[in-house]
Structure 1
Amino acid sequence: MANRRILSLWFPRLGAERLLRTSRGAEERPLAVVAEQSNMQVITSLSAAASASGLQVGQPVRDAHAMCAALATRARNAPAEAAFLTALRRWAGKFSPWVAEQDGDGLVIDLTGCAHLFGGEAALLEVVQDDCRDMGLSVRVGIADTPGAAWAVARYAGVAAEPERNGDAIDQEAPATRSRAGRRRHWTRGGAAPLQAVRGGATERIVPPGEGHRVLAPLPVAALRLDPETTAQLGRLGLRRIGDLLGQPRAGLARRFGRGLVARLDQAMGSAPEPISPARAPAHFAVRLTLPEPIGLTADLLEGIDRMLPRLCAQLKDKGRGARSLRLEAHRTDQSAEVVTVGLARPGHDAARIRPLLEMKLEQIDAGFGIEMLRLEVMQSEPIHARRSVGHLEAGREVDARLARQGGLDDLVGRLGARIGLETITRWHPADSHIPEKTAQVLAAAWSAPAERWPAPARLRPLLLWRPEPVGAPDAPAVPARFRWRGRDWALAEARGPERIAPEWWLDDPNWRSGVRDYWVVTTQAGDRLWLFYGHGGTMSSGWFCQGGFA
């Protein structure tokens, strides 16, 4: 692990500078990106001009406007910032193939064996600074032997550990702690500071190999990537610098602050491994068709789809994936685009199943003065596997027939979903519970498979179930000869039962606080068949209730 070299890139103004890149002439005006947190708008990112005005990240917007009247605010777009960081990750791939995103505003790069291709680490950092300056981005960097040390140097190099309480700068730890900490921080005395040079507004920080302990010791404990609560607890005990923790017994730290503190400390010092897992490039499937002349008829659009769709399905089939949702873009001659999306109930790469769904959406496309380019893209795909029938001949035929029926149902769900939305189509699925109203659950039809079979109930169950409704009858377990329900008087003709059902004792269900129930199938003289039960009380009063009706 001593031979590893890790580069950490931190973009402290990522959100604000992403907006400034698209706003020409707005660099001179202070800009703040705000987001809703705890029913209050706070600042999440600041431009350089806003920071020069004394504003800080995490500050309420109302206080920021009071300090800077010319402040311009923009709502935070978290997905756009994530997409921008992903684009920066692809840019950083020029330095090493091992690049990963970090904390939503930074990148971590494994430079092992790659720095010499750029003339060394210092020359590589010059390339990083030049590229970021051309992109209009502020960057702080750190190179060390471990990801934790590089992260700490990039964000906290030159930052002094502040006392926990306000007032003077007198150390407030106990004398015994201060005396022990002085002996344990012997490696911080003497020696050269880590390499620091200022070029183009960014600070280079390169930790020489094997000197992580010396460089990290004077940094605040927050540089270990700890949560704010743990950092505050350490500060109240006088442990403000990483060097204060290096000589402490690990068992005591783990007992008081948890294993997370010790793990972060070991990762920063190289005692515990911390691999870098680069993000895999997402599977992307898209085809386009450029037209020699603009088109506008539905028949012409279908002809274009018939040319693109087989190629797209062939790409999906080669990768063993199926399309779950697709997007059709129709680019018009006036530089605008008409976009429609379709979804499938089951992922697939069969053009015959996808084409009818696209055809149903063509009426939503306004051709305007003509369409000059079509593009078909898979927005979401899932892996699919070929199914093979096994067993005896008859069993195989039955499986094939069931799969064929299910495929037809999927096509029906897909067609209905194209009209009313896939999320509105649901199906009942059996559930494992002896409680009558919990024997079935509602699932989305497009994201669930139909049940092979429904388990047969041990006793007769009503076709319709509703919440228990009170029945006017004597408070006694015997079935009443006459009772009143829903404003009508009913006379008993026949009763079968009882079936005793107990509540789930491991759950506190408010609907079953009536305790044990005795269910009866009651036939009235009017011919109605009802499902009555007598609740034995529990935490509620006892009595008769009606919960269902038979067809």
Structure 2
Amino acid sequence: MRLWIAIHLPQLPLEVFCPRWSTDQGTVVLEQERVIALSAAAYEAGVRRGLRRGGAIMLAPHTQFQQRSLPLEAEALQATALALLQFTPQLAEAEEATLLLDVGASLRLFGGIRALCHRVAQSVRALGFTGTLSCAPTARGAWMLARSNAGRALTMASLERRLDSLPPGLLPPARAYLDWLEGIGCLTIGQLRRLPRPGLQRRCGRALLDMLDDAHGARPEMHQWLAAPASFHAKLELFDRVENAEALLFGAHRLVLQLTGWLSAHQLAVERIQLLLEHERGRVAGPPTVVEIMLAEPTWKDTHLVRLLKERLAKLALPAPVIGLCLEAPQVQPMAPPSESLFPEPGGSKEDWQRLLELLAARLGADNVLQAAPNADYRPEHANSWVSIQTKIRPAEARAQLPSDIGSLPRPTWLLPKPIALMMRDHRPYYGSPLRIRSTGERIESGWWGAMQTRDYFMAQGEDNAHYWLFKERDSGATEPETRWYLHGLFG
């Protein structure tokens, strides 16, 4: 099924200068000294589109006036397109600040067209823009519905009904002939299609007929798909000096959404990101503050990254006001989507557990959340060390660190901080009750470079059926060595 989603950004010139999350005291965008976009506060003061600059200043003297910047608008549109690449790799830019997404192959992945449209609209809002969304079986049809805010159409029949009621001025090639069309009583696209095609082509040109054919599926459409850059580097200039780190989360979320689209386009997952907080430039310029996020498990989802950034920014004290943000992804790897198990593990998946650990590390500090790391040592006290949760320990590397013959005999999960000397009763070690040896011995002779150990370890069982890990020391220098037993660990 071929289905297109069109996103038209009608307020793009205004929102480039006045994002929805900012505190707006009144903003007006000018082009050739005339108002082309204005905020709600300026509208309440009496400013209207097409008004000259002098009249707008008289009505709203405290309003902020900005000149239209086409490069900034193009940059904002490119940022939106990059973020929407997470939904489909086939995304094209159309006329008049509109993006076209071929989502026919993405419907099942995102749960249908309604859920997909909701997620697309939610992403556009998170970027700080207001968009008009529509969908149709053809790209030009979706573009026309989005430009006129005429709803959605899932079949060709419903699309034709909606298009027939739209005004012909919606089509760019027809705008130069609106007076002639109105003079002959052609006020809708449906009436325009019923005109004789040869005469319409001679009067208005071939471009008008091609656009009508594209919208109604009578001609194959050709598009130039947006290509994501080879590496990710996104910047955002703030609209004011920000002195509170938590207030930067809105801009950071916008950059993370672009990162999500870039990762999906290249089928990659990120292991480490860097958020650079840029301070004042010029003579008092200082180095940017770096907020680095290390991930135990690579991800390509924005929700987890935003949660980690929120925790880090909440604890950050800014050395100077921030005027810009920059997000980089220096460490990525190929995406490996998790396989769905027929019988999922209770309590969440492995990825959920890793996200919890990463959230704790961001909240408590990486040095306060530790994990066990094996060491190449036979001595139980030295066979394990505790390192930060952000330290990468690959399973293969962990097994390689262990001696080859370790693990052939049982070892307990819990070791005592210090071995406990046991008394002897009836020639047996005693710990609450006489202990019976239940395994063969594991001899350890190691540590000649430091703390030398010569021990024989055994698993023992008490009368309460509890299992203990004992060892007896061997004094090779004594003529009649005395048997001394110690409790070193407990079995679960």
Question: What TM-score comes out, normalization by structure 1 length?
Answer: 0.40
Relative contact order, higher structure (CA 8 A, sep 6+): 2
